Amino acid sequence: MGESGVTGIGFGTWSWGNQLLWGYEPDRDDPALAETLEVAVRGGLSLVDTADSYGTGRFNGRSEWLLGRILDRCDGALRAQLTVATKLAPFPWRLGRRGFDRAFSASQERLCGHLQRVQLHWSTARYAPWQEGPLLDGLADLVEEGRVAELGVSNLGPRRLRALHARMQARGVALRSVQVQMSLLAPEPIQADGLKTTCADLGIDLLAYSPLALGVLTVPPGGSPPQCTRLRAGLFRRLLPASEPLRTAMAQIAAHHQASQAQVALNWCRAHGAMPLPGLRRVTQARDAVKALSWSLSDQDREHLDALALAGQERMPANPFMSA
Ligand SMILES: NC(=O)c1ccc[n+]([C@@H]2O[C@H](COP(=O)([O-])OP(=O)(O)OC[C@H]3O[C@@H](n4cnc5c(N)ncnc54)[C@H](OP(=O)(O)O)[C@@H]3O)[C@@H](O)[C@H]2O)c1
């Protein structure tokens, strides 16, 4: 939540360096990234999300690396408006309370020291429950030692979040945020007893990743999918037909506000108290996300979209590492 009590908007950098899903091409994509970030932050987007596992093949670590260099060249006043959050992956070989030490130092280095929040990327509760607690304790040590300011988690359901919150509370370290998939095509967090309620109870910020359903929600009714990688094309093929009524309602709301469907998708998250993290790599996308800050959904429109979202049978695939 922002100081005004209204949820802000952040953005994500998963596509920066990812050829497999996002068709990343350094010569084509890199030149626009610095301006994208600058437009986003000047316009009021207040958090940027990355991860040590972002970037595929020879571009491993590229998202943090690019972000670090761009931030290093920004003026300090602009940087001060932004929370930089990375996620460390609990790979099977990262074990014990010191299991993240080297990964944390490597992220710090790639980010040129511009890092405020470290997040546990996913829950190991379903396949290695013993791994999670010590790793999180190690991240909390970093906060206590003053090496990073804030701690967050990701891909946790309500039950697991309560357990980890209690563990952190017992040693006096705050959990600032939890980020999960949340969109009009992944509305689980707003269901009764969903994560939205848990976050409100515990005072933890809810961050909504993939708020545009990887772009599906931005396709106008009757529209065709964009040119994209084979992996993403499969998602569009599966989700576009069933989401036609939802996207029709979004287009009507968008027209009423002279806004885009993407803005409707972002403001639906905000209307539920969640900070959306759209994936941005173009200046036009940053401008569009910024415009969403200037208006909000009416209760009536939100309820209409809620009903369509919750009734939808075809949804985004759940993250396999998401815990209950
Ligand atoms: N914690 C986790 O496990 C996890 C998992 C997934 C994502 N995330 C975070 O969440 C961030 C966002 O999620 P995401 O990248 O999966 O998906 P997303 O935000 O749902 O979708 C990004 C896609 O939307 C398109 N787009 C962005 N702004 C647009 C606009 N204004 N109008 C039309 N299209 C627009 C982009 O198009 P183009 O293809 O044209 O660029 C991109 O394809 C990631 O970058 C990452 O930081 C976290």
Rg (CA), the chain: 19
Domains of the chain listed by start with CATH number:
11-311 (3.20.20.100)
Q: What is the mean pLDDT of residues 168-181?
A: 97
pLDDT score of 167? 96
Residues with CB under 6 A from ligand 1: 12-15, 49, 87, 154-155, 179, 209-215, 218, 260, 262, 277-282, 285, 288-289, 319
DSSP character string of 75-116: -HHHHHT-EEEEEE---TT--STTTTHHHHHHHHHHTTT---
Q: What is the mean pLDDT of residues 20-29?
A: 94
Is residue 3 scored above 90 in pLDDT? Answer: no
Distance 170 CA to ligand 1 centre (A): 35
**pLDDT-derived band of residue 313, with 50, 70 and 90 as boundaries?**
confident
Specify the ligand 1 atom closest to the Cα of 284.
Answer: 31
> Do residues 156 and 323 touch, judged by C-beta distance below 8 A?
yes
Q: d(Cα 314, Cα 292) in Å, to the nearest integer?
A: 26
Termini Cα distance of the chain: 24
- Give the C-alpha distances (Å, rounded to integers) separating 228 from 30, 75, 78, 169: 18, 34, 33, 44
Q: d(Cα 109, Cα 116) in Å, to the nearest integer?
A: 13
pLDDT score of 164? 97
> Do residues 86 and 53 touch, judged by C-beta distance below 8 A?
no
**pLDDT-derived band of residue 2, with 50, 70 and 90 as boundaries?**
very low
Determine which residue's CA is closest to atom 24 belonging to ligand 1. 215
Determine which residue's CA is closest to atom 13 belonging to ligand 1. 210
> Do residues 289 and 147 touch, judged by C-beta distance below 8 A?
no
CA nearest neighbour of 212 among 185, 190, 191: 185
Distance 166 CA to ligand 1 centre (A): 31
In the numeric block, the tokens 């130092």 are attached to 105
Distance 215 CA to ligand 1 centre (A): 7
pLDDT score of 127? 93
Tokens of 314: 């075809």
Mark whether 54 is an active-site residue.
Answer: yes
pLDDT score of 1? 55
Q: Rounded to 5 degrees, what are φ and ψ at 310?
A: -70, -25
